[in-house]
Amino acid sequence: MKISKIEHLGIAVKSIEEALPYYENVLGLKCYNIETVEDQKVRTAFLMVGETKIELLEPTSEESTIAKFIENKGAGVHHVAFAVEDGVANALAECDAAGIRLIDKAPRKGAEGLNIAFLHPKATQGVLTELCEKP
Ligand code: ZN
């Protein structure tokens, strides 16, 4: 596969409203979009950092995987998302062939309309890894 950049870092927060003042007022970044991804039970806030982004993830339900993550590990870095140039489906097939455990067997829609898929952290040196592409 061909990875062009880190598309974003996903950071789990209890509350976007409580987290934003740090990112905006202290780090001087600007939130340009907040959206809810219903099927993931998360609200997301995006901030540009040069070529890449920070994605703040706030659970909208106690069943959200983000709620469980915060419960187990506390707020903090949740995943790294790589932009792949030759398609998420191709990248997944390569990972599968390499014996990497997949969370998503096929690409699905994520925030910002991207096609995304996750690799299992047990197969990726402990880092939950997202592959994404613009559709
Ligand atoms: Zn993400």
Q: How far apart are CA 87 and CA 118, in angstroms?
A: 14
Ligand 1 being an ion, which residues bring their Cβ within 5 A of it? 10, 55, 81, 130
Q: Where are the beta strands (DSSP E) in 50-119?
A: 52-59, 76-84, 108-109, 115-119
The burial class, CB within 10 Å (0-12 / 13-18 / 19+), for 50 is exposed
Residue-wise pLDDT for 37-85, tens only, equals 888 899 999 999 999 999 999 999 999 999 999 999 999 999 999 999 9
Report CA(8)–ligand 1 centroid distance (Å).
6
Residue-wise pLDDT for 86-102, tens only, equals 999 999 999 999 999 99
Mean pLDDT rounded to a whole number for the chain: 96
Report CA(97)–ligand 1 centroid distance (Å).
23
Report CA(81)–ligand 1 centroid distance (Å).
6
Give the other-Cβ count within 10 Å of 125's Cβ. 7
